[in-house]
Amino acid sequence: MSDSLGNEADTADRLARMTSERDRLARQLHEVKHKQADYLNTVWEATTEAIGRIRLAPVEPPGPPDIGQSALRTEEYAVALLSDLQTGKLTPDYDSRVCRDRVMRYAQRIVRLAEVQRLHHPVRHCIVPMLGDMVEGVDIFPGQQWLIDSTLYDQLFNTTPALLVDFVRYLLGHFETVTVYAVDGNHGRIGRRGQFGPMDNADRMLYRIVSMLLRDEPRFELKMTDPQGERNWYQVMELGAYSALLIHGDQIRGHSGFPWYGLGKKVNGWGSGGIPEPFKDVFMGHYHQLGRIPLNHRSVWCNGSTESTNTFASETLAAQSEPSQWLLFVDPDAGRVTASYGVDLR
């Protein structure tokens, strides 16, 4: 009997120690999570206060278009996809300076191609789907610290917002309005997967910074979903009768190259009720390859990147791609893309 009581006492003692250890670990985890949240909130409050002191004068709108036969035809939208800039990334021929040169070259070519289209029909408005990976990040995979030319601070508060503001302001000098639709990329993640919450994404912060810097520009609008406790991973852009699902593209799983099967499975699933909003086409980035993939009556427009030589892609995927971005022209009445340009940024 005494042995039995002794065993029960030992078991109860071990259980009490395990319970105490569990509670201690739970308290530590709670403290870590709150410290991370407090840190990010403090940084964001300081950033908001600093940006609030910056005032940018609105860009002068373009002059009235020439009146001719083009004015009698249906107006179209210029839709300039922008993604995978990964400012801060360092490769043998790519860095933040090269990124800036190519993005501003893209802005100039958007205007030039819009002027060609205007010979036939009005193009007064520019839509810019920003599809994520606007920054490179610093610690989303092992060894990334050796592949960057700047810290996350510089990427998020110096190089990238200045670049995007200059890009938008250049377009505002040639279009009556510029509207940005924005979603987050995986390189915007802060730290390794699961280290911070899904809302803590550098792309998401960047879009807000750009919006604050352009707050006095009446002809600019940022459209971004802001779900609580979730990543801003998609939204549906509507231009009259045309619509497109905007995603970054890391939601599509693949192996050793472009994920054809995964793309069809996901897009068809979303289109049949996987998300509540209906859509016609899909815009995505992530894979750094310019492509148009027909899926029955839908087209997936896969955007390129502003980067060039990528030794990891060469060794691991046996793939390289020229720096490029998609520029589309959309007829909102007919609900379709009428022209597409794979804009070479070399």
> pLDDT tens across 286-300, in order?
999 999 999 999 999
The predicted pLDDT at position 30 comes to: 62
This model's pTM is above 0.95: no
* Range of 199-203, 219-223, 231-235 with top mean pLDDT: 219-223
**Rounded mean pLDDT, 192-198:** 68
The predicted pLDDT at position 67 comes to: 54
**Rounded mean pLDDT, 238-265:** 87
In Å, how far are 89, 210, 313 from 92, measured between CA atoms? 10, 29, 13
Beta bridge pairs of residue 172: none
Domains defined for the chain, CATH in brackets: 54-344 (3.60.21.10)
Helix then strand then coil, % of the chain, to nearest 5: 40, 20, 40
- Read off the pLDDT of residues 141-194 as tens digits, 9 standing for 90 and up: 777 776 778 888 889 998 999 999 999 999 999 999 999 999 999 988 886 776
Distance CA 84, CA 63 (A): 33
For residue 56, pLDDT over 80 is answered with yes
Contact yes or no for 189/152 (Cβ under 8 A):
no
The predicted pLDDT at position 54 comes to: 81
| 165: nearest Cα among 284, 56, 87 | 56
Q: Kindly report the backbone phi and psi dihedral angles of residue 178, in degrees, each rounded to the nearest multiple of 5, phi listed first.
A: -130, 125
| Amino acid at the residue 160 | T
Residue, of 68 and 237, whose pLDDT is higher: 237
Provide the phi-psi class of 240: left if phi over 0, else alpha when psi is between -120 and 50, else beta: left
Extended beta strands in the chain, E state: 77-80, 125-130, 177-182, 220-223, 234-239, 242-247, 281-284, 291-295, 298-302, 324-331, 336-344
- Read off the pLDDT of residues 84-124 as tens digits, 9 standing for 90 and up: 999 889 888 999 999 999 999 999 999 999 999 999 999 99
The half-sphere exposure of 16 on its side-chain side, counting CA atoms within 13 A, is: 6
